[in-house]
Structure 1
């Protein structure tokens, strides 16, 4: 583990974080992040905000990529980058309010909840080192804690929500674990459902059987490791069962994953790994071509197996052909509803789903406050238009059935306005044309924000609006908007 680095004060604008950045390329950080996320979700305020607004159920890979990108910005050397990201996070959190299942109001700007998010990141960083047999030295730990306190201060939170000293922090941490954390729905989803239904990343989407087999083995193991790593008092109070041997499995996982840090750095850099996983199979990147070749060989092997053991065809019942077209159209509409419109994965279309789309687009384009507000307002107008057109029972949300019954009415004036605003904020130089660089900024499939788009890629306003409307009305799913808003 790296030794103590330069110190960092508690005020915004202080020397950029150095100790925190050492964890970015540590493979153990993946386990620590899962653990921290579980502890965050167990906080009632955070858990309620996640359930109502987050895309972690329907789009876990996208959420992972965006979270890691945000952490990179918050730990950037450039103070302007840190300040801009802090302002963006504050705007995002300010929009997340509501009421939890116990009728308790929640607000993502609650200073206690925000302090707990930072606390879980720090404590899980310390714990991952201890569990893997490399406990942090006291000086390093104190410097790391100062960096996390400075990160919270850079968000504009008043001092005092995290204790001043490390000994006081452990008392604070134990108190929150013992008195405030709950067995929330968001926590249960992360522990027991998220891994079981985790969709394949884009590059592996063509190998459903292989992915399902690996997930069936790895999912329960990851869940057991996460449960075993949680504080014992909380496990008992929340009634979380610990599998026999889970503690040994957990320590073995931390040690084994920690050994990968001796591999070449380019192999284990998280952005490189997620970059490959989130890459489209038809990408011109050499790594994508290699994976595509492997996929093709495995598909040929699967086809050969099916030839050896053919499944007899079933005769189609009489009269079914008559309704086949209508059934197929309805099925396509419901699939579009699940993959694109229901961003939060709760089975219905609500304002948080459209807000999640606006949030994803604003984050990709790194919009300033005025542009971001303009985009959110356009999506809010579209939501009101959708409610008027599709909410047949007046319950304030739109079901998949309601959408499938009236899908063509999606392309109304408000949706056209969303397309026009999106074009305006993407067209950074204002030349009324989206060039190759602007195209890639919006439609990139991974981390690279400064690369150029395909040669000759341009969009006029009319072409952009036409393609956006064709996608959002479910009429065409081969546009660049499909991986942008439908990818998991």
Structure 2
């Protein structure tokens, strides 16, 4: 990977092997490896604290998956300009994440040893993925991959010095961190024992909650057992993770089965296409509409069959009642629903700054903002948080509970929220024409999610845009364009 650092440039692997490695992104084994790497990241106290306080992976896991996948694609892109731009974006994002954990220990997402550990887990999990699937990497390929990951770290930090130069030294470094620094963190436990059991349905399956719940009840525990069995033994023992009988065999079988996909015709498995289809609601991107529609029809048939064979009275996961519909086709949410689905982005049951920062981060990602527009958007959300805190935080604990919000039933359209809407309009109106044209509209409401939505007469004026945004954020209306931005899983 090319970077601006001369030392890092020496680590850049040959382009032919770069292409070979990028094929991992379309490898089903990579999904298992990334889950494993994420647990190892979350087990580091600094990463675990940052995830617990700032991440949306509990409430919006599919959105987090899409954004992470897109970021990794960019970081390993063949174009140096794409890599450098994504590096700058990631560094700005991480620079905004710092604080302290439940034990009062400081964390900082820009901490260099911690960032090195994140890169280390990705590399080690890729190597482990190949070994467990019966396709171990040869030494030359492993050396090449390690050099590429060190270059990845050099792009983020300016040099790769926090990771050993020699691959043999890396394995000693990895074992030391596992044994001496990793902990049984809350974030790791959430991923292993809560996320899989309560994973919300992707957009494709949102209309079949019973079918999704049935599948999740089987697949969730299996994924958890596979992931636990694949973790390093010293960490499993330190964290007191259960040794499930048969789990190692199950894990080996899962990796071997995923590895067999290498015999499928080239192009049959494309991670980007799969993520787009899973994320495609009715009326999605035209290019994927046929496939998504066909799958959705089959899902409905399967859900109907499941309801036929499900014993009467089993309402453990009932079909949700549709929202009250207005003449405009928009549904009304209760204050509690709006709080959980829109305001509480991190899923911790409270509204505080990390929730609004997550909204700003998602909007900036959608619009692919650079500075200074990105900072303007964050500052507008920060001002809105101060306004919310002053008016709703009645017990003075620094955050807003769902009861405080519901009891106040506030009109949120104050000056700060209006400013958020105006800044969002300005950064969406790329050409400064004073109106959002069809291309700019799609950049906000369709980019990365591929939704086809009509605009009014091909343009969207400031007052209409601000009015619609305020109606969504203060009126608690389910709104077709904004729901995928802030409410979808």
TM-score normalised according to structure 2 size: 0.89
Among candidates 281, 289, 300, match of residue 293 of structure 2: 289
How many residue pairs align between the two structures?
461
- Alpha carbons 1:19, 1:143 under 8 Å: kept: no
Counterpart-to-counterpart distance in 2, 1:216 and 1:310: 18
Match of 2:321 in 1: none
Match of 2:478 in 1: 477
Q: Does 1:168 align with 2:169?
A: yes
Secondary structure of 2:347's partner?
coil
Secondary structure of 2:26's partner?
coil
Counterpart-to-counterpart distance in 2, 1:330 and 1:403: 17
Cα deviation for residue 299 of structure 1 reads: 5.7
- Alpha carbons 2:333, 2:477 under 8 Å: kept: no
- Alpha carbons 2:437, 2:459 under 8 Å: kept: yes
Match of 2:231 in 1: 230
**For residues 393-432 of structure 1, what are the structure 2 equivalents within 5 Å?**
393-432=395-434
- Alpha carbons 2:59, 2:346 under 8 Å: kept: yes
Counterpart-to-counterpart distance in 2, 1:198 and 1:309: 25
Match of 1:392 in 2: 394
Cα deviation for residue 433 of structure 1 reads: 1.5
Q: What value does the CA root-mean-square deviation take over the aligned residues?
A: 2.3
Q: Cα 1:33–1:10, aligned 2, differ >3 Å: closer, same or farther? A: farther
Q: Cα 1:171–1:301, aligned 2, differ >3 Å: closer, same or farther? A: closer
Q: For each residue in 1:392-443, what CA deviation from the matched residue of structure 2 results, as whole angstroms up to 9, or x when unmatched?
A: 1111100111111223321111001001100111111111111222112111
Q: Cα 1:401–1:382, aligned 2, differ >3 Å: closer, same or farther? A: same
- Alpha carbons 1:428, 1:438 under 8 Å: kept: yes
Among candidates 345, 358, 361, match of residue 359 of structure 1: 361
Counterpart-to-counterpart distance in 2, 1:309 and 1:123: 48
Secondary structure of 2:372's partner?
helix
TM-score normalised according to structure 1 size: 0.90
Cα deviation for residue 282 of structure 1 reads: 2.8
Q: For each residue in 1:355-410, what CA deviation from the matched residue of structure 2 results, as whole angstroms up to 9, or x when unmatched?
A: 00001111111111211000000000000010111111111100111111223321
Q: For each residue in 1:219-239, what CA deviation from the matched residue of structure 2 results, as whole angstroms up to 9, or x when unmatched?
A: 111001000000011111111
**For residues 276-355 of structure 1, what are the structure 2 equivalents within 5 Å?**
276-283=277-284, 284=286, 285-298=289-302, 332-355=334-357
Cα deviation for residue 102 of structure 1 reads: 1.4
Counterpart-to-counterpart distance in 2, 1:123 and 1:385: 45
Q: Cα 1:481–1:97, aligned 2, differ >3 Å: closer, same or farther? A: same
User: For structure 1, which segment, 439-448 or 391-400, has the greater mean C-alpha deviation from structure 2 after superposition?
Assistant: 439-448
Counterpart-to-counterpart distance in 1, 2:116 and 2:133: 26
Counterpart-to-counterpart distance in 2, 1:310 and 1:353: 38
Q: Cα 1:129–1:303, aligned 2, differ >3 Å: closer, same or farther? A: closer
Q: Does 1:461 align with 2:459?
A: no
Match of 1:374 in 2: 376
Cα deviation for residue 199 of structure 1 reads: 0.3
Q: For each residue in 1:157-176, what CA deviation from the matched residue of structure 2 results, as whole angstroms up to 9, or x when unmatched?
A: 43320000101101100110
Q: Cα 1:57–1:303, aligned 2, differ >3 Å: closer, same or farther? A: closer
Q: Cα 1:12–1:92, aligned 2, differ >3 Å: closer, same or farther? A: farther
Secondary structure of 1:221's partner?
helix
Match of 1:41 in 2: 42
Counterpart-to-counterpart distance in 1, 2:347 and 2:75: 28
**For residues 172-211 of structure 1, what are the structure 2 equivalents within 5 Å?**
172-211=173-212
Match of 2:328 in 1: none
Counterpart-to-counterpart distance in 2, 1:218 and 1:304: 22
Cα deviation for residue 19 of structure 1 reads: 4.5
- Alpha carbons 2:37, 2:121 under 8 Å: kept: yes
Match of 1:319 in 2: none
Counterpart-to-counterpart distance in 2, 1:20 and 1:107: 30
- Alpha carbons 1:437, 1:452 under 8 Å: kept: no
Q: For each residue in 1:321-360, what CA deviation from the matched residue of structure 2 results, as whole angstroms up to 9, or x when unmatched?
A: xxxxxxxx99711011001100001000000000000011
Cα deviation for residue 288 of structure 1 reads: 2.4
Q: For each residue in 1:59-112, what CA deviation from the matched residue of structure 2 results, as whole angstroms up to 9, or x when unmatched?
A: 000000000000000011111110010011001111100101111100000000
- Alpha carbons 2:412, 2:473 under 8 Å: kept: yes
Secondary structure of 2:99's partner?
strand
- Alpha carbons 1:132, 1:254 under 8 Å: kept: yes
Q: Does 1:11 align with 2:12?
A: no
Match of 1:151 in 2: 152
Counterpart-to-counterpart distance in 2, 1:193 and 1:424: 39
- Alpha carbons 2:74, 2:82 under 8 Å: kept: yes
Cα deviation for residue 271 of structure 1 reads: 0.8
Counterpart-to-counterpart distance in 2, 1:330 and 1:264: 47
| 5+ long unaligned stretches in structure 1 | 1-7, 312-328
| 5+ long unaligned stretches in structure 2 | 315-330
User: For structure 1, which segment, 14-23 or 297-306, has the greater mean C-alpha deviation from structure 2 after superposition?
Assistant: 297-306
Counterpart-to-counterpart distance in 1, 2:304 and 2:36: 39
Match of 2:55 in 1: 54
- Alpha carbons 2:211, 2:302 under 8 Å: kept: no
- Alpha carbons 1:195, 1:220 under 8 Å: kept: yes
